[in-house]
Amino acid sequence: MNSHLSSVALVGVASSFADSEFSLLFDNQPEHIAVPRKLKRYMAPAAINSLTATSEALAHISLAERATEVGIYTSQTGYGSPFYSEFSAALPESADSAAQTFKALWSSERVNPFLITNALNNNLLGISGLNWQLNGDACAFIRDQLGAFGALQEAIVAIDAGECQLAIVAIAGNSNDPLARWLQDSESEMAEEVTNGATTLILASEEWLSKTGHKAVARLSILASGYHLNTEQLNTLIAEYVKPSHFLSYYIESAKGKNRILADALASCNVANHHLNSYSGSDICPGVVTSVACNLSTLRKQNHSTGVCVNCDQAGFYSFVRIENESL
Amino acid sequence: MTNRVVVTGLGVLSPFGVGVDSFWSAVKAGENAVDAWHPPGAEGFPVQHGATIKQDTQALVAEELVDFKLPKHIERRAIYALIAAKEAINDARLETELGQAGIAVCSGVPELDDASLLALAEQPKANIMNYALTEREQAIKRFSGIRCSNDVLATTLAEQLNTSGFICNVSGACAGATQAIGLAYRAIKRGEASVMLCGGADSVLSIRTLSALHLLGATAETQRFANQLCRPFDQDRAGLVAGEGGAMLVLESEQHAKARGAHIYAEITGYGSSLDAYKVTAPHPEGLGAISAMEGALQSAGIGAQNVQYINAHGTSTPLNDVIETKAIKSVFGKHATSLGVSSTKSMIGHWIAAAGAPEAIATVLAIRDQFMPATINLTQPDEGLDLDYVMGKGREASINHALSNSFGFGGINASLAIARYYE
């Protein structure tokens, strides 16, 4: 069980989700920004939501000074690419052999040559770097909840260690991808379209705050994270970090075994909360970054001072993060 | 808190076989692991060479991982990672410390077995999706590799080794393993971890991934040079030649390593990463991102460019990379660039894509230990303007106190590690 005590200033936050019950938890939903056509060619589908969220989160922040002082840390949920439709145009109507099918593919000009870059988990990192002309410290993390946590953790420690002054933490994902849904549950209805979503947090060093005069909207601390939580450790963490005065946001994947125990323990805490899994659309890019954005939105609406986010993925990777609302 | 970070364990599964010894003795001797490669059932496949692991995967599991309880379906790259990790852990003589160790690894594109893809491709176009979606069991096997579990390395290692420390799984395309080692270095340096297992494993020798790289024009496909196809910096280089394998390092804080009497191979002294912000599939023409990564590594190591004697280059044998990496080295090192040894071990083991930086970091560590610069093989005539000392053809003894290991990837991500001889 890892414990962390770093606290870092949050200076920007935004989300861009397809309309859903979940999207109503956020302050607002910005309009998608315009993206150059050339850039679109390189982009996985959820990247547009991420560029929109990042643009919104940076609305009052200038990146003009030194792009090398800006770190960017990203993670993706789901793939969104490649879709069958991306190959479909190039495939022959019938084929005598696999080789014939592949030959058609290999020699086709109708397949996007950037298919592999769209399928990579660092697509969002590259696209964001291009869009904002960022040259500084950078890393893409794999994936889903573990990736989101990795991105947030690295951003916090990079700020703490002076490796960057400003850190963009960008998370994007999708759900309703027909194949992914079907693999989870063959009885499920095929969704007609993929839905995308994204959240971006902007973290800043104290030096950057004093240099620019910006105020933190919140402060984040990673309280604990790791694998293999046993019941005793779980109860200790909850007792230590989830207080009645807090607002709790939690997203626990898989209602089985230890995850079920964790979800039940959190549900029975005497604390106002959002059980994020219960909102439709929350599976688009679950993880600590989205939970933080959700939690802060509620803290602001309800004039709460402190929130705590608890996340746990299917493999049992958990995290506890505290949010201090600085806008009161 | 700032800790010195030392290397105490190494493990490799390479096309030269299982173990660091087989890897390093072949690399020192300038042997070539690239050979003819033809995926069964895909006649006419444009990519026809690769550096493959010769041993059958199941045989490797039976021989090397008999003590592990592996899940029924486990990707080849996860097996490679476990074999390399096991050797690195044994080499470092980690015992009770293993439970607290952190893990930092990288992943590329998930595996999809060629037989399944070929079966799918034999369906008439109208049936393909239907075929995939109506045969659930087969489809899960076929597609779980595309859609799921790309954090397979981190989770497999954490579960199989029962570790509970700092964990991350990086996606940095061809810079992934160098980034993973860099993040492990930072975690120890900053005091978040005392011991880290880091590196990567990958296998892109599959129809699907190589088809995608072919579509991008990244692969070498000429028959002119047979198995001497991987020719970094050569005027006739024609693209990357894919390889496969796993390589892991154990990093520790100096204090932790000394307290338990561990053998120290070398010290990781710095790490730099950057973005090109130029194009997704091509490096910045002046190598600005590569320059920034190398300068970042030197800066965090607290050394000047003149202190470095050797660079294990990214050296992919692609027309663009080798020119731009050379430009970037000249920019960072100035006149000192011509005094450096710069070699590409990919010329021998091929390009392990996401994992490439891990065997290269190990080669750099061992180059420092043995005071020996490995060669760039198959390089007979450097291209115009490529005028550094690429250690052509044959490795040589050299005094190496400080070295860099470079990796650059799709998406414009760059990473460089500074590695040094260890002095108390």
Give pLDDT tens digits for B276-294. Answer: 888 877 889 999 999 999 9
Here the contacts of A179-184 (C-beta below 8 Å, separation 24 or greater) are: A179/A84, A179/B132, A179/B133, A179/B143, A179/B146, A179/B147, A180/A78, A180/A79, A180/B147, A180/B148, A182/B133, A183/B139, A183/B140, A183/B143, A183/B144, A183/B147, A183/B148
Q: Which two tokens stand for residue B357?
A: 């930086």
| Residue ranges in B164-318 assigned as alpha helix (H) | 176-189, 207-215, 254-259, 288-301
Of all residues in chain A, the one with the smallest CA distance to B218 is A113
Q: What is the average pLDDT across A260-275?
A: 93
Q: Is the pLDDT of residue B145 over 50?
A: no
Phi, psi of B177 (to 5 degrees): -70, -35
The answer to which of A22-31, A317-326, B172-181, B327-336 has the lowest mean pLDDT is A22-31
Percent of chain A at pLDDT above 90?
Answer: 46
Per-residue tokens: B264: 């120290």
Q: What percent of chain B has pLDDT over 70?
A: 90
pLDDT score at B147: 42
Highest mean pLDDT among B125-134, B205-214, B308-317: B308-317
- The reported pLDDT for the residue numbered A81 is 56
As a whole number of angstroms, the distance between CA A226 and CA B150 comes to 18
Q: Tell the CATH topology of B269-420.
A: Peroxisomal Thiolase; Chain A, domain 1 (3.40.47)
Minimum distance, in Å, between the CA of residue A59 and any CA atom of chain B: 20
In this complex, do B42 and A98 lie within 8 Å of one another by their Cβ atoms?
A: yes
Span of A10-24, B100-114, B163-177, B322-336 with lowest mean pLDDT: B100-114
pLDDT digits (tens, 9 = 90+) for B19-30: 999 999 999 999
pLDDT digits (tens, 9 = 90+) for A113-135: 676 677 677 888 989 999 999 98
Nearest-CA distance from B277 to chain A in Å? 4
What is the spatial distance between Cα B256 and Cα B162, in angstroms, rounded to a whole number?
Answer: 20
- Give the list of residues 6+ apart from residue A21 with CB closer than 8 angstroms, or none: A279, A280, A281
Question: What tokens appear for B192 in the block?
Answer: 């978040």
> Closest to B215 (Cβ–Cβ): which among A113, A132, A134?
A113
If you measure CA to CA, which chain A residue comes closest to B271? Answer: A137
pLDDT of res. A267: 92
For the CA atoms of B349, B266, B186, B91, the dihedral, rounded to the nearest 10 degrees, stands at: 70
Those residues whose C-beta lies under 8 Å from the C-beta of residue A299, and which sit 6 or more positions away, are A218, A247, A305, A306, A307, A323, A325
| pLDDT score, position B204 | 85
Total H helices, total E strands in chain B:
14, 15
Check A227 against B140: CB less than 8 A apart.
no
Kind and range of the H or E run holding B341: strand B341-343
Q: Work out the number of other CB atoms within 10 angstroms of the CB of residue A90.
A: 18
**Taking CB atoms and an 8 Å limit, are B413 and A126 in contact across chains?**
yes
Mutation target to probe the B interface, by most B beta carbons within 10 A, among A97, A139, A156, A314 is: A139
Select the residue from B153, B164, B211, B280 to test the A interface by mutation, using most A Cβ atoms within 10 A.
B280
pLDDT of residue A176: 60
Quote the strand ranges of A90-161, DSSP E. 138-141
* CA dist., res. B228 & res. B379, Å (int): 9
What does the alpha-carbon distance between residue B10 and residue B268 come to, in Å, rounded to a whole number? 13
Q: Considering only B29-38, B132-141, B191-200, which range has the smallest mean pLDDT? A: B132-141
Residues of chain B contacting A161 with CB distance shorter than 8 Å:
186, 190
Cβ contact (<8 Å) for B279 and A130?
yes
Q: Residues of A with CB below 8 A from B207's CB?
A: 102
Where does residue B211 rank: exposed (0-12), middle (13-18), buried (19+ CB within 10 A)?
Answer: buried
Q: Which of A54, A33, A90, A313 is nearest to A199 (CA)?
A: A54
| Distance in angstroms (rounded) separating the CA atoms of residues B174 and B186 | 20
Task: From chain A, pick out residues whose CB is under 8 angstroms from the CB of B214.
Answer: 106
pLDDT of residue B64: 95
Q: Per the CB < 8 Å rule, is A95 touching B121?
A: yes
Position B144 scores a pLDDT of 45
Degrees to nearest 5, angle at CA B356 with B350 and B361: 115
Tokens standing for residue B200: 């990567």
What number is the average pLDDT over the span A61-84?
A: 75
Q: What is the pLDDT averaged over residues A207-229?
A: 91
Note the Cα A255 to chain centre separation in Å: 21
Among chain B residues, CA nearest to A146 = B168
Q: For residues A178 and A266, give the distance between their C-alpha atoms in angstroms, rounded to a whole number.
A: 32
Which distant-in-sequence residues (6+ apart) come within 8 Å of A284 by Cβ? A17, A18, A20, A22, A77, A78, A173, A174, A175, A195, A196, A197
Distance from CA of B393 to the nearest CA of A (A): 33
Query: Burial of A321 by CB count in 10 Å (0-12 exposed, 13-18 middle, 19+ buried)?
Result: buried
Q: Is the pLDDT of residue B76 over 50?
A: yes
Whole-number pLDDT of residue B130 = 60
Rounded to 5 degrees, φ, ψ at B276 are: -75, -40
Instruction: Sketch the domain layout of chain B as residue ranges.
Output: 5-259, 269-420
SS3 A13: strand
Which of B136, B281, B292 shows the shortest C-beta gap to A117? B281
Q: B148 falls in which pLDDT band (50, 70, 90)?
A: very low
- The structural architecture, per CATH, of the domain A2-83+113-212 is 3-Layer(aba) Sandwich (3.40)
Inform me whether the pLDDT recorded for A78 exceeds 70. no
List Cα–Cα distances, B344 to B199, B314, B316, B363, B417, in angstroms. Answer: 18, 7, 8, 10, 15
Whether pLDDT at B140 is above 50? no
d(CA A117, CA B226): 29
Q: Which residues of B touch A104 (CB under 8 A)?
A: none
Identify the residue among A35, A142, A186 best suited for mutation to test binding to B, counting B beta carbons within 10 A and taking the highest.
A142
Tell me how close the Cα of A327 comes to any Cα of chain B, in angstroms.
31
Please give the pLDDT value at position A110: 67
* C-alpha span between A46 and A49 (Å, rounded): 6
Query: CA of A132: which chain B residue's CA is closest?
Result: B277
Instruction: Indicate the range of A146-150, A239-243, B276-280 predicted with least confidence.
Output: B276-280
Of B107, B128, B162, the CB nearest to A142: B107
- What pLDDT does residue A18 have? 84
pLDDT at B316: 97
Give the separation between CA B218 and CA B141, rounded to whole angstroms.
Answer: 28
3-state secondary structure at position B417:
strand
pLDDT digits (tens, 9 = 90+) for B93-139: 998 888 889 999 997 766 665 666 666 667 776 666 566 555 544 44
For residue B405, the model assigns a pLDDT of 98
Contact B128 A130 (CB under 8 A): no
Region A295-318 average pLDDT:
93
| pTM of structure | 0.89
pLDDT of residue A185: 53
What is the C-alpha separation between B390 and B382, in angstroms, rounded?
A: 9
- Closest residue by Cα to residue A257 from A208, A312, A305, A308: A312
DSSP state of B232: T
State the pLDDT confidence band at B152, using cuts at 50, 70 and 90. Answer: confident
Say whether B154 and A142 touch across the interface (CB within 8 A): yes
> Distances in Å between the alpha carbon of B383 and those of B233, B237, B272, B322?
6, 9, 28, 9
Active-site annotation of B, residues: 174, 314, 351
CB contact under 8 A, A125 and B413: yes
Least confident of A303-317, B21-35, B365-379: A303-317
- Domain pair B5-259 / B269-420, same fold: yes
Residue B40's pLDDT is what? 79
Which of B124, B126, B277 lies closest to A135 in CB terms? B277
Helices (H) and strands (E) in chain A, counts: 12, 11
Query: What is the average per-residue pLDDT within B69-86?
Result: 89
Confidence at residue B167, expressed as pLDDT on a 0 to 100 scale: 84
Mean pLDDT of all residues belonging to chain B: 90
pLDDT reported for residue B139: 46
Domain map (residue ranges) of chain A:
2-83+113-212, 221-325
- pLDDT (0 to 100) of residue B71: 81
Residue A94 has pLDDT above 60, yes or no: yes
- Please answer whether residues A61 and A214 qualify as being in contact, where contact means their C-beta atoms are separated by less than 8 angstroms: yes
Judge contact between B61 and B246, C-beta under 8 A: no
Q: What is the pLDDT of residues B231-277, one digit of tens each?
A: 999 999 999 999 999 999 999 999 999 999 999 999 999 999 999 88
**Does the structure show a pLDDT above 50 at A208?**
yes
CATH class of B5-259: alpha beta
Q: Nearest CA to CA, how far is A61 from chain B (Å)?
A: 19
Structure tokens at A140: 């893409």
* Predicted confidence band of residue B360 (pLDDT cuts 50, 70, 90): very high
Confidence class of residue B213 from pLDDT cuts 50, 70 and 90? confident
Buried residues in A180-192 as b, exposed as e (16+ CB within 10 A): bbbbeeeeeeeee
Q: What is the mean pLDDT of residues B62-88?
A: 91
Mutation target among B109, B140, B151 for the A interface, most CBs of A within 10 A = B151
pLDDT of residue A84: 57
Per-residue pLDDT, A66:
64
For residue B212 the two structure tokens come to: 């995608």
**Best CA proximity match to A173, nearest among A225, A121, A112, A249:** A121
Strand pairing category for A218-226 and A318-325: antiparallel
Per the CB < 8 Å rule, is A120 touching B171? yes
Alpha carbon distance A267, A249 (integer Å): 10
Stronger pLDDT, A181 or B107, i.e. the higher one: B107
